[in-house]
Structure 1
Amino acid sequence: MRKLLILFFLITLSCSTSSTDNNVVLNESVELSTPTPEVDEVLEVKKNDGEIKYNHPKIKNDKEQVELSFVNKLLEKQEKEDKSFNIFIDLANLSEINLTLDQYDGFTILVPDDNVFESLDQKTKEEIFSSKETAYEVISNHILPFKFKESNLKKYSHLDTINGGSIDVEVSDRKLIINESIRIIEKDIKVENGIIHLIDNAIMTNDLEVIDTNNNLINFKDILERKLVATKMIFNEIYEFDSQYTLELKFDNQGRYSGKYLCNNIFGNYKINDNGNIIMESPASTKMFCFPPNETVETDTDIMIDLISDNELILGSDDQTSNQIFLQKDQQKLIFSLNN
């Protein structure tokens, strides 16, 4: 009996211990820690009035500022400063220089202001706008491939321009001098895909005439304000004109022409197109009754008027020493004597 009691006691004690262990396991709690995201340090900044402000982390803007095109930059400077660049801008537009600049990864433009161009003689001012090709020749003299700050320009003795020419560069008293006399008056102006420097003179070639592979072509300035008297026309056959009843023309430098045929005066406007050719609008005329001496004169006059009306005419000379010029459309050539 005693042995049974001892056995019962041991069994009871074992069950009690097991229950206690289970309670311990069930009542245990695990503390979970959630990592906090890293943030930029926020600094306290005290103002003079004692109020605490917080300096929030700055967000860096990686997007580069888009610069203005060189034409728009010059227009902006005109608005903000007492400077004018209209002539250089007009040359840029006439020459369509932007089409060339688009081919370069970077460029440098040396820009004179309007005062420089206004100081040129009248003949030169007319000549630089005489055609697209001449405008291109002038403006491309001022453009270098690649971006050059003034400090970089000083490293060279000469630099090539985009038209195959070059400029001479030297430094005197730490000042940059171009072609012996031209100075930079404002440097390192950033523009889209390039840099511009303002200069105090223009970079001109010795000869501004448009060079063409056809040696017969002459410059339009050579006939301005001079009387042209039609002497004959070549078209399948040669038409000789009576000097008393022929066509006379004169071009001024304001885009107007005047003249005479039979007994009437004629007048109208003309323009020089991008190819350097002349386009004359159909002439207006006085309304005097003219009685031509014969039918041939009337026919010849009609042929001449038809040729010069609204056609693109090439200006040239078969022999520039003979004081003769011609206006030509396709195979139709009207020949004039050139008088002062």
Structure 2
Amino acid sequence: MKRHLGIVRSCLIGVAAMGIISASGLWCRADGADAKDIVDTLEDIGMLATFTRSVHLGQIHEMLREGGPFTVFAPNEEAFLNLPAETIEMLFDHNNRDELDGLIAYHVVPDEIRSSGMRDGSSATALNEEVLHITRKNGALFVQNARIIRADIVCSNGIIHIIDKVILNGD
């Protein structure tokens, strides 16, 4: 009897967890059906708050909501914390929207690239026409010098890969 209760509890915990994940918008079918657009998905991922704020402040916002397909290499919060304070202040100064748009454009590729399609030594051209180099080291994928820490978050108009560094010009 105790064994059956344990199984029932495990099943209930699993169902509850699936409900939480589903309600967060992070659970979607592999083919992208019923997925949210890139902007809505960014908003749902708490570890991307600063990048999401950047997208909302910049001019690329509507394009990422309605256009596509796109691949977004989205830096997590820790990536922004590792930038110098003066860089953050400069990017978020309302007089520097072009700089912010440039930063976002460096993280967006106008094509959908899943991790399975990334090969060591391959490259992709970002919206700002800069070439992003993709490497594989010890089984981990990198774009420029940023490690992809979570890959293939499917959206209705593309895909998001979470990275651990902000990609800056010259990286």
TM-score (norm 2): 0.72
1:121 corresponds to = 84
Percent identity between the two aligned chains: 25
Q: How many residues align?
A: 137
Residue 156 of structure 1: CA displacement? 5.2
* Highest RCO, 1 vs 2 (Cα 8 Å, sep ≥ 6): 2
- Match of 2:99, SS? helix
- Quote the residue 1:136 is aligned against: 101
* Residue from 154, 164, 167 that aligns with 1:200: 164
Report runs of 4+ in structure 1 exceeding 6 Å deviation. Answer: none
The answer on 1:164 being equivalent to 2:129 is yes
CA RMSD of aligned residues (A): 2.0
CA contact under 8 A between 1:104 and 1:145: conserved in structure 2? no
Q: After TM superposition, give the deviation of residue 142 of structure 1 in Å.
A: 0.5
Letter in 2 for 1:108: T
Matched, 1:76 2:20: no
Cα deviation digits, residues 16-58 of structure 1 (max 9, x gap)? xxxxxxxxxxxxxxxxxxxxxxxxxxxxxxxxxxxxxxxxxxx
Matched, 1:191 2:155: yes
Amino acid at match of 1:162: L
SS of residue in 2 equivalent to 1:138: helix
Q: Tell me what 2:25 maps to.
A: none
Taking the aligned partners of 1:77 and 1:133, their CA distance within structure 2 comes to 25
Q: Whose strand proportion is higher, 1 or 2?
A: 1
The equivalent of 2:23 in structure 1 is none
Alpha-carbon displacement from aligned partner over 1:116-135 (angstroms, at most 9, x marks no partner)? 11221111111112322111
In structure 2, distance between residues paired with 1:120 and 1:69 = 28
Counterpart residue number, 2:11? none
Flag structure 2 segments of 5+ consecutive residues without an equivalent.
1-31
Q: Return the alpha-carbon distance in structure 2 between the equivalents of residues 101 and 72 of structure 1.
A: 10
Higher helix share: 2
Give the letter for the 1:152 counterpart. Answer: G
Look up the match of 2:110.
145
- In terms of Rg, which structure is larger? 1
